[in-house]
Structure 1
Amino acid sequence: MSFSMGPAILFCPADRPDRYAKALQRADAVIIDLEDAVAAGDKETARQALLANPLDPQRTIVRVNPAGTEDFAADLTAVRQTAYRTIMLAKTETLDDLAAVSDFNVVALCETALGVINAPQLAAAPNVVALMWGAEDLVASLGGSSSRHDSGDYRDVALHARSQVLLAAGAFGKLAIDSVYINIPDHEGLLAESIDAQASGFGAKASIHPGQMPVIRQAFLPSAEQVERATRILAAAKDAAGVFTFEGQMVDEPLLRHARATLARHASTTTP
């Protein structure tokens, strides 16, 4: 089964089935969240809502509670009664965690110190289809109080984790998903961070509010100028042998790969 996972992915609380369809309408993929978005006393109600309100399984991820917890076992029992076969495993840390969900495609959520350190091992697991990192849970696991400076920029430890997860995903050909931007009204900051995510190699960005969807899509969609320039660079390469100069810039194979990637992103957003 093919699965569409980006670029704009939206979390939706599992105990709010009235939001399920709306979330999927706004997003490229939706994460029905049985973990942080649901209070401890509402977990079973959330699981029943998950069962009673099915969505397109090709565009739906279910976030389950961390491996080894009572809620994790109950979550899997529920998900196995649905058509969903892609889950996000909260606080993924070890290969044993992944072994417990070997019958699912897994988005490994690296949001603890151990999970980030083990990101390369997790990315290599055959049932892992994507990696995502989580800033606030990570800093909390270290005993810290905030992943960002007052300016809104990430602290160094968060940037390190972000890079570690991206590199691990890239090393094993898995999708990398950037963490959420929690300052909901700040679309300018979200746009800047999303542009950086795309330019760095993330294939998608998760979010917590439907109003963030157009901003993320804008960041991941190549501009007309970028498409036009990539087209001209690749056209010029057909008549060149090896490295060549294009409008004052040296062009070699890495830059040609950038150009091909730009056109591929453009095609993926314009093809029905």
Structure 2
Amino acid sequence: MLARSFMFVPGDSEKKLAKAQDLGADAIILCLEDAVAEANKPQARTMVHAYLEKHKNGSASQLWVRVNPLLSSHLLDDLVGVMGGRPYGIFLPKPSGAEDFKIIDNYLRALEVHHGIDVGSTRVMSVAESCVGTLNQAEFATASSRLCGLTWGAEDMSADLGASTNVDENGVHFLVHRMNRANCLVVCGAGNLQPVDGICADYRNHDQLRDECRRARQEGFSGKIAIHPGQVAIINEMFTPSDDELEYARRVVQAFADANGAGTIGLDGKMLDLPHLKRAQRLLQ
């Protein structure tokens, strides 16, 4: 099953790392980037590597590592520092274009060989969160066979734009961020990547979180980033298909199977065609 909740955990916080396995998140993203002060990055690498080693034989969650951006002086040190712990995947922030993924693919390939990891098995997830990255998002769809998911972010893009905020008086993201979000969803559809919705910054507002999750799932997103432990259970709930939804999807798949290759069928008085089958198959993943 695809991960529904992706919880950020600072890589230099012993207290938060100790609690991470109890959060119930499908995926934990151990952060070496913005959540870690410059002076603490070497220590964070050591702590994240130790965490990965401790849980490499069994973790309740996928273990990802958010490294620093390609243009920073930290990326290679981050990868060298954590790859021995065999993370589930690498979360790459602020990509500019397809070339970024080719470069990190080369780094990962060398480190996989060095550590005896199956070459190509380390996944990559990324986030469109800069102006140049947003402009070049279409390149991401076919940039790397490692890339398996994409999300979007408004905070860094707001900084690029010199904006004082990224939402209006009603808490709705401005058009430029909604465009970035929509592009993220389309790129994922084009590249067969998992689309993951961005954060709900007002982490105490659970009603808003539920609304965002409901809308995101209706649009096609299959998960959401969490920034607070209190968000995880809600995200998991909202992105879990109901028993009725699963049963109907099974009936759709079976009806098409019984139709011996027909492109259009009838079910419960409604006409269904191949997009309905595709949607049902995706739900059952």
Please give the TM-score of this superposition, normalised by the length of structure 2. Answer: 0.82
Counterpart Cα distance in 1 of 2:103 and 2:259: 53
Counterpart Cα distance in 1 of 2:18 and 2:217: 27
Contact 2:69 2:94 in 1 (8 A): yes
Residue 68 of structure 1 deviates from its aligned partner by 2.5
2:195 paired residue number:
176
Structure 2: give runs of 5+ residues left out of the alignment.
Answer: 109-121
Q: Which among 3, 8, 22 is matched to residue 5 of structure 2?
A: 8
Deviation digits for residues 85-143 of structure 1 (CA, Å, limit 9, x no counterpart) = 51111111123322331125321221101111211212212232221211211222122
Between Structure 1 and Structure 2, how many residues are aligned?
261
Q: Which among 3, 10, 27 is matched to residue 25 of structure 2?
A: 27
Counterpart Cα distance in 1 of 2:243 and 2:159: 41
1:139 paired residue number:
158
SS of the counterpart of 1:162? helix
1:224–1:105 CA distance, 2 compared to 1 (3 A): closer
2:45 paired residue number:
47
Greater shift in the superposed pair: 143-152 or 27-36: 143-152
SS of the counterpart of 1:79? helix
What is the identity, as a one-letter code, of the residue corresponding to 1:119? Q
What is the identity, as a one-letter code, of the residue corresponding to 1:98? F
1:94 paired residue number:
97
1:117 paired residue number:
135
1:162-241 to 2 correspondence within 5 Å? 162-234=181-253, 238=258
SS of the counterpart of 1:144? coil
Greater shift in the superposed pair: 83-92 or 232-241: 232-241
Contact 2:5 2:226 in 1 (8 A): yes
Residue 261 of structure 1 deviates from its aligned partner by 3.1
2:72 paired residue number:
69
SS of the counterpart of 1:101? helix
Counterpart Cα distance in 2 of 1:107 and 1:157: 22
Residue 260 of structure 1 deviates from its aligned partner by 3.3
Structure 1: give runs of 5+ residues left out of the alignment.
Answer: 266-272
